[in-house]
Structure 1
Amino acid sequence: MSSVSSVSSLPNAAVADDRALPFQRYNRPELLRIGLVLLDTDYTLERDWHRLVGDDMELFCTRMPTHAEVTPEALKALEAGITPAAATLVPGLPLHTLAFGCTSGGLLIGDVAIAERLHAVRPEVAVTHPWLAIRAALEALEARRIAVLTPYVREVDDAFLAAFSAQDIEVAAIGGFRLDHDPDIPAVDPACLGDALATLLEGAGPVDAVVLPCTNLRALDVLDELEQRFGVPCVSSNQALYWHARWIAGRPTCQAGFGRLLSGV
């Protein structure tokens, strides 16, 4: 005989009460609500944003499947997954902003296509992505000559170089770690970004700002340190995306410790 007795065999065992017990409906506060579509291989963006989110905001995240490749072809192919992923975000709950979380993907897919994919689910919501946010950040910082430190392969860097040039932003230097596998990118120690940037800037001349694209690059924690070392604003994807997502919702932020952009420009 089993040593474990069933509930029904216990003396005076309770049974489920069929009554619907009364309750008071929760009065949900009118907080800023942002939805974020991440790649399944992104280990950094969500953590960074949770460090930035204050009591005035709710963050809702979902993830889309990828092949983990950081190549132009693989990044363009992300477009098809944006709408299905966005459709899983808190159905029935209004959002103020909806963001797609991939910098190089946003660049190669394009503003219009990303907006269409997100608006297919939430036509009334303001939308953004890191490439759009970086451009808005550089405009707010009045930066026209920049250096760009990336984790990407050469083909993706070339796409950034062409895109910045099309925006009349001069790129004094661009280069990086030449990684083509997304999970390898968060393995880059933030402590090495300063020395890598110093190498990249050798002979480049003065710049107005430094850009560190890629939501998987662990740059947020060292932005203040980099700004002190190099004397110019440093813009990361996760910092700029958070700043822009709030700004387009009409809820700008001012936070110290994460670079000049978030401290009020």
Structure 2
Amino acid sequence: MRPPTTVGIIYPGHAAEDEYAAAAGPLGVRLPVAHVYGTDLHAVPELLDLGAPQRLAGGAAALAAHRPQSVMWACTSGSFVFGHDGARQQVTELARVTGVPTSSTSIAFVAALAALGVTRVAVAASYPDDVAACFVEYLASAGVEVVATGSAGILSAAEVGLLRPAEVRDLATAHDHPDAAALLVPDTAMRTLSVLPELEAQLGKPVLTANQVTIWQGLRLAGATPSRPDLGTLFTRRQDHAPQ
């Protein structure tokens, strides 16, 4: 019997990492999590430090015993603050350490949009305005038009992790836009998987969230594309395997 597909998750601090364990069983895969630590402030200097090569290398080393087929840096802000080219360089350097296909949540968002054929989006961000603006710039550099952006102004990942499902739904729906073909919710500290079906049904469009796209991209890089309608439109459309 073939062992289950294993995607290693490098996760910053503690907030919503339980979403990976919750998704792994229904998907029939393994999503082991290795934690890396720095400040959890949503501020550009701190985020640049959080995504530093030596920190991520430590997370990769902690995952090695699990023998993952791919590895994901499960942090949106700790990747997009480096800009488009910097985010690519970040995972290129990390891949040299992991020895397997490696990506990040920011890159996963762009890959997911390409897989769905979407180029116009709205963003419902938990971050302060300046950090949310960095995400918009990152998307623009990847050819994605952001027609509306909302920022909740939450200063730390720990605070985001305390949001209740109803608060997550309200944040998402408040910042959708009729001209957007998809809504993006970019924070791996936010628990979103349980509300995805309801959000997509209410908005009538794909909703892409940070932990969702991280899992999808990791499985894709590992050569697995399971179908799980409860994880949103992204997990119902069969996609070709592709490099990061």
TM class by shorter chain equals 0.7 to 0.9
Residue 36 of structure 2 is matched in structure 1 by 64
> 2:101 aligned with 1:130, yes or no?
no
**Cα shift at 1:29:** 4.5
CA distance in 1, matches of 2:31, 2:181: 32
Residue 51 of structure 1 is matched in structure 2 by 22
CA distance in 2, matches of 1:59, 1:101: 11
**Cα shift at 1:199:** 3.2
**Cα shift at 1:170:** 1.2
Q: Is the 8 A contact 2:75 2:187 kept in 1?
A: yes
**1:172-214 C-alpha deviation (Å, 9 max, x unpaired):** 111121011120011222213333344334xx43210000001
CA distance in 2, matches of 1:82, 1:117: 9
Give the aligned residue type for 2:123: V
Q: 138, 141, 144: which is aligned to 1:163?
A: 138
Aligned ranges 1:1-265 → 2 under 5 Å: 29-40=2-13, 42-44=14-16, 46-54=17-25, 56-78=28-50, 79=52, 80-91=54-65, 94-109=67-82, 110-123=86-99, 125-201=100-176, 204-264=177-237
**TM-score w.r.t. structure 1 length?**
0.81
Give the aligned residue type for 1:129: S
Bigger relative contact order (CA 8 A; separation at least 6): 2
Unaligned regions of 5+ residues in structure 2, if any?
239-244
Change (3 A) 1:226 1:85: same
Q: Which has the larger radius of gyration?
A: 1
Q: Is the 8 A contact 1:83 1:120 kept in 2?
A: no
CA distance in 1, matches of 2:174, 2:98: 44
More helix, by proportion = 2
Change (3 A) 1:258 1:31: closer
Between the aligned residues of both structures, percent identity stands at 24
Which 4+ stretches in 1 moved above 6 angstroms?
none
Change (3 A) 1:61 1:194: closer
**Cα shift at 1:147:** 0.6
Give the aligned residue type for 2:97: V
Q: Is the 8 A contact 2:172 2:185 kept in 1?
A: no
Give the aligned residue type for 1:60: P
Secondary structure at the aligned position of 2:102 is classed as: strand
CA distance in 2, matches of 1:59, 1:251: 13
**1:8-61 C-alpha deviation (Å, 9 max, x unpaired):** xxxxxxxxxxxxxxxxxxxx9432122111112x321x3111121147422322
Change (3 A) 1:256 1:199: closer
Give the aligned residue type for 2:30: E
Residue 242 of structure 2 is matched in structure 1 by none
Residue 8 of structure 1 is matched in structure 2 by none
Q: Is the 8 A contact 1:172 1:205 kept in 2?
A: no
Q: Over the residues paired in the alignment, what is the CA RMSD in angstroms?
A: 1.9
Unaligned regions of 5+ residues in structure 1, if any?
1-27
**1:72-114 C-alpha deviation (Å, 9 max, x unpaired):** 11011111311122112234x5320011111111112333332
Q: Is the 8 A contact 1:194 1:226 kept in 2?
A: yes
**TM-score w.r.t. structure 2 length?**
0.88
CA distance in 2, matches of 1:220, 1:112: 26
Give the aligned residue type for 1:112: R
CA distance in 2, matches of 1:174, 1:232: 17
CA distance in 2, matches of 1:260, 1:100: 23
Give the aligned residue type for 1:142: G
